[in-house]
């Protein structure tokens, strides 16, 4: 049952992501700021190489294990292009700010969940994920993504407490 729910949620996330990409590329193309969107996508290659080298040691098909690892690593850094775009524009509209803050909160809760699960199982969860470097890399990926979003969340909360509707990022942030 747990795996079915994860598959359903992952499928819903994929569908929502594809819908957002479609909307940006076709329906909202006039509002796209191509000159501000200058983040190179080089981080995809290291994620793929890392997935080939460090992946789960479970009994699943090797291709599935490599794709699973690739997804974990890519998800950890997937918000970097959005944060770079916001850094370049220096102003973040409320809807986008709320969305990225929600991502940050979700990431924090997910990271806390993993840490609490490891503590609650006294480390047995790590062995359930496999052996070798993989369990540590899963936790490290969660922590990396949490810290990437923590900086944005700090400025978001500071902005909300200050009563600003539009988030203004200082230069050099992110």
Res 1: pLDDT? 38
Res 49: pLDDT? 94
The owner of tokens 């990022």 is 169
C-beta separation of 68 from 55 below 8 A: yes
Going from the C-alpha of 167 to that of each of 26, 135, 162, the distances in angstroms are 27, 37, 10
Structure-derived torsion over alpha carbons of residues 169, 43, 5, 95, reported in degrees to the nearest 10:
20
Longest C-alpha distance within the chain, in Å? Answer: 53
How does DSSP assign 95-147, residue by residue? HHHHHHHHHHHHHHHHHHHHHHHHHHTTTHHHHHT-STTHHHHHHHHHHHHHH
Nearest CA to 84 out of 40, 47, 45 is that of 40
Res 146: pLDDT? 86
pLDDT in tens, 79-121: 888 888 777 877 777 777 888 888 888 888 888 887 888 788 8
| Cβ count near 157 (within 10 Å) | 12
Res 3: pLDDT? 59
- Per-chain mean pLDDT for the chain: 79
Residue count of the chain: 174
Each residue's pLDDT, cut to its tens digit, for the chain (174 residues) gives 355 676 787 778 778 878 877 887 788 777 777 777 777 778 889 999 999 999 887 777 888 888 888 888 888 888 888 888 777 877 777 777 888 888 888 888 888 887 888 788 887 766 666 667 887 888 888 888 888 888 888 888 887 887 776 666 666 555
């Amino acid at each position: 049952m747990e795996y079915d729910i994860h598959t359903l949620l992952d499928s819903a996330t994929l569908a929502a992501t594809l819908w957002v990409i479609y909307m940006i590329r076709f329906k909202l193309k006039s509002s796209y700021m191509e000159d501000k969107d200058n983040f190179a996508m080089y981080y995809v290659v290291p994620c793929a190489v890392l997935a080939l080298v460090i992946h789960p040691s479970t009994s699943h098909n090797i291709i599935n294990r490599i794709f699973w690892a690739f997804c974990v690593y890519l998800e950890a850094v997937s918000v970097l292009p959005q944060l770079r775009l916001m850094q370049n524009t220096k102003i973040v509209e409320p809807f986008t700010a709320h969305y990225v803050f929600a991502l940050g909160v979700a990431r924090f809760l997910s990271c806390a969940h993993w840490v609490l699960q490891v503590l609650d199982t006294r480390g047995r969860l790590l062995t359930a994920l496999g052996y070798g470097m993989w369990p540590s890399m899963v936790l490290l990926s969660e922590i990396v993504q949490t810290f990437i979003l923590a900086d944005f969340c700090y400025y978001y909360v500071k902005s909300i407490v200050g009563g600003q509707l539009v988030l203004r990022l200082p230069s050099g942030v992110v």
